Amino acid sequence: MVRTIVRENAYYDSVTLMLISREIKKLDGVEEVLVGMGTDLNLDLVKMLDMFVPELEQVTPNDLFIAARVDEAKVTMEDLAASFEEQLNRKREAMRGTTSRRHSAPPSTTCRAPIWCRSRFPAGTRRRKRKTPCSRDSMSCSFPTT
């Protein structure tokens, strides 16, 4: 039986929703599932999967929906909603972990020694200098440090 959940004005990026769809589909009793925003493309996909129901007619591109064909003896829509929230929380926690490391305080000593960055430019083209954390002892470095 096809069931849906609609959350109005709840935006999530499409990559996150595709990954969550894949995880929800692994649940026992879920035959097919699509988690997405109410864009024309996603609604066309729901129609192609033969899971379009009247509740989806009013969905806008700003609305999140979960459309699933499930065996109700094994799984309920409440289980799917709980799984969605769990997966979403995992993604949020993963993002918090990467952003806290990425935006950590810069090293206290930065070496101004010329280090040529060749990784972005092919041979024979313009090269640029970049600041790098000083791996040398600041007392032995002949370049001024900040």
| 93 and 144 inside one domain | no
Portion of the chain with pLDDT greater than 90, in percent: 54
Q: Please tell me the predicted confidence (pLDDT) of residue 28.
A: 92
The number of domains in the chain is 2
Domain span at residue 93 reads 2-102
The segments of the chain whose pLDDT lies below 50 read 100-108, 115-121, 127, 130, 136-138, 143, 145-146
| 91 and 30 inside one domain | yes
Residue identified by tokens 């979403």 is 88
Q: What is the dihedral of CA 5, 34, 10, 14, to 10 degrees?
A: 180
pTM above 0.75, yes or no: no
Residue 121 CB contacts under 8 Å (≥ 6 apart), including other chains: 127, 128
Q: Please tell me the predicted confidence (pLDDT) of residue 118.
A: 45
